[in-house]
Structure 1
Amino acid sequence: MLFVHKDASAYRFPFFASSPPKSPPASLARSFEDALAARLADLHLDTASLSWLTRAVRVLALTLDDAAALLADAPVSSSDRDALAGHLDSGVALLDACNAASAEIDRLLRRRLHLRFALHILASSDGGRDAERLRKARDSLEEWTVGPRRAIKPSAVDLVKSLAPANPPKGKLSVARRAIYAVAAVSSLIVGALVAALGGSEHLAAVRVPSDLPWAKEYHDLAAAISHKLVGDWFAAELDAAQAAVQKLTDVISTNGEDMTETLRKSIEDTKKATGALTEGLDELSHAVSGLFHSALGLRNAALLGFRVGSCK
């Protein structure tokens, strides 16, 4: 028996459906670039923190997702093959940079175990009267203190440099070229900040994009803010807070005063709070970097498909 919906006119059979008209290429590019400008403007850098790095990495992932969708909808000609081939090369560097960042985040999470162990010992130290437990806790805290704050591979800096776009494009650009150039510039900026935060401040060359691009002002404003924050031995606020709390707790334990119980209790609570914020920040950043990796793979696949289509024209 054939069932027909009362309002059959509201449904169309697939073989009678007509595809919605595609937006013209210029409209596609402008929509992509306007969205990028808005995201960069919203990414203002007030406090250098793991939470800000997480937001920045997510903005980059969204940009890659939009670029992949744009390449799927926009016409790709044989003249775009050079730009697509260039992204296929730099896309590998982006994936490698994600892996380097993930490895460093994992190292920091493992290093944080020294803090958790020390706090566990202190929780059962009889209010600070168990000298042996205090000694073990202090030793564990010192393991955190003497360990390297940054240990990301130096090669990660070279990966960031390879992400930077070549000379600014001139003349009228196709939709594909505009998207690929935007991806390269934003990847260089945000991954550069990520690697600098995890691996130490580096003097990475700033990219100057053409001023006629709709997102140029927002990009340069953000680049200037990042450059200002990366001066000297910049590090994420959550890690600095944990370092300060650990140092204070170590000093309190080393004092061994008779009236240290309340001071010790407060220092333990401060260190717990700082450790919790650090753990949350590292976990969220780890998830964001993982998402960026998958977005980079998606854009690479879209570029590869466009490269093959362009070669057939």
Structure 2
Amino acid sequence: MLFVHKDASARRRFPFFASSPPKSPPGSLARPFEDTVAARLADLLRDASSLSWLARAVRVLALILDDAAALLADSSASSSDLATLACYLDSGVVLLDICNAASAEIDRLLRRRLHLRFAIHAIATSDGGRDAERLRKARDSLAEWTACARRSIKPSIVGLVRSLAPANPPRGKISIARRVIYAVEAVSSLIAGILVAVLGGSEQLTPASVPSDLPWAKEYNDLAAAISCELVGDRFAAELDAAEAAVKTLTDVISTDGDGENTETTLRKYVESTEKATGGLTEALDELSNAVNGLFRSALGLRNVTSQAFRVDSCN
């Protein structure tokens, strides 16, 4: 006769009687992802006043999208999740469009910087400021740089950013997919809004309001509040501000007649200052360009993962 003991030792001796472990609730499975989102957002609360910071913020968003793609790829989507994933397919396209618009504006700023390169070269070869024709060319080139719109991203992109904001905050017991997609859309809306505001000099975008009980809500709200303060008064792009200040001073110097040695010394000083500011701007724009390109790839990767759910579902 076989006696079955209902204690732990029996389950160890007779593994075929072992019961299946209880399934973890969706919230607990999504919690590591949400805690990571909180930590990444908290890390952005430092030094938020430059294009270099903006590049870091864009890279953080890309990492969050990568984390979301990895989690969703390992999770099975229920039929009720399909509507959420379908909405993100649209949001994913919007984010890709925003990346394209941002890349175009960064390229425009980099091309605009060529006016500064030409002016610096013209002054450097002006025989210490004694070649009036070269100084005239330098002034014209600096004037062209100044006349270009500082930032001119299309106003229609603002509407795209607004469409990224998640519509319905998660409530009660919800699936992993819904928790993850909600976080992705909220953070995408926040950081894409900052990107467009900085590059476009457009109206300030109001971040989406998120429920306070979400694990990342405090960090999200703190970051939104901090950035709103920085964007007021158009004081954000420190590298661009430095270049504009250097150009203004250099323009004043080469437009003022002076005597011999003092003019040459002064010219050298402010040419070096403008060259340094131009180099800083170039480095920051290159960094931001690389970050936006990385975000495009991450957005495309997450969109591919969400679309996979529909291919799997159609085979069932």
TM-score between both structures, scaled by the size of structure 1? 0.90
Correspondence for 1:303: 306
Which residue identity does 2:38 align to in structure 1? A
> Is 1:88 the counterpart of 2:118 in the alignment?
no
State the distance in 1 between where 2:314 and 2:80 align.
9
Moved more, 249-258 or 28-37: 28-37
Kept after mapping to 1: 8 A contact 2:198/2:236: yes
> Is 1:289 the counterpart of 2:314 in the alignment?
no
Moved more, 175-184 or 199-208: 199-208
Kept after mapping to 2: 8 A contact 1:28/1:74: no
Kept after mapping to 2: 8 A contact 1:201/1:230: no
Give the number of equivalent residue pairs.
Answer: 292
Kept after mapping to 2: 8 A contact 1:65/1:295: yes
> Is 1:246 the counterpart of 2:247 in the alignment?
yes
Correspondence for 1:196: 197
Which residue identity does 2:273 align to in structure 1? D
Q: SS state of the match for residue 260, structure 1?
A: helix
Q: Structure 2: give runs of 5+ residues left out of the alignment.
A: 1-20
Kept after mapping to 1: 8 A contact 2:48/2:227: no
- Report how far residue 52 of structure 1 moved: 0.4
1:104-142: per-residue Cα shift (whole Å, max 9, x none)?
000000000000011111111111111111111111011
Q: SS state of the match for residue 64, structure 1?
A: helix
Kept after mapping to 2: 8 A contact 1:78/1:311: no
State the distance in 2 between where 1:234 and 1:150 align.
13
State the distance in 2 between where 1:229 and 1:279 align.
22
- Measured on the aligned residues, the alpha-carbon RMSD in Å equals 1.6
State the distance in 2 between where 1:37 and 1:72 align.
21
1:63-89: per-residue Cα shift (whole Å, max 9, x none)?
000000011112210010111011001
Q: SS state of the match for residue 185, structure 2?
A: helix
State the distance in 2 between where 1:186 and 1:260 align.
52
State the distance in 2 between where 1:64 and 1:297 align.
9
Q: Structure 1: give runs of 5+ residues left out of the alignment.
A: 1-20
Correspondence for 1:31: 32
Moved more, 46-55 or 302-311: 302-311
1:262-309: per-residue Cα shift (whole Å, max 9, x none)?
111110000000000000000010000000000000000000012333
Kept after mapping to 2: 8 A contact 1:87/1:300: yes
* Percent pairwise identity: 74
Q: Rg: which structure is higher?
A: 2
State the distance in 2 between where 1:293 and 1:151 align.
21
State the distance in 2 between where 1:250 and 1:151 align.
24
Correspondence for 2:107: 106
- Report how far residue 173 of structure 1 moved: 1.3
State the distance in 1 between where 2:230 and 2:310 align.
39
Kept after mapping to 2: 8 A contact 1:197/1:234: no
State the distance in 2 between where 1:248 and 1:132 align.
20
Correspondence for 2:77: 76
Moved more, 46-55 or 91-100: 46-55
Correspondence for 2:10: none
TM-score between both structures, scaled by the size of structure 2? 0.89
1:152-211: per-residue Cα shift (whole Å, max 9, x none)?
111110110011100312221111111100000000000000000000141322211111
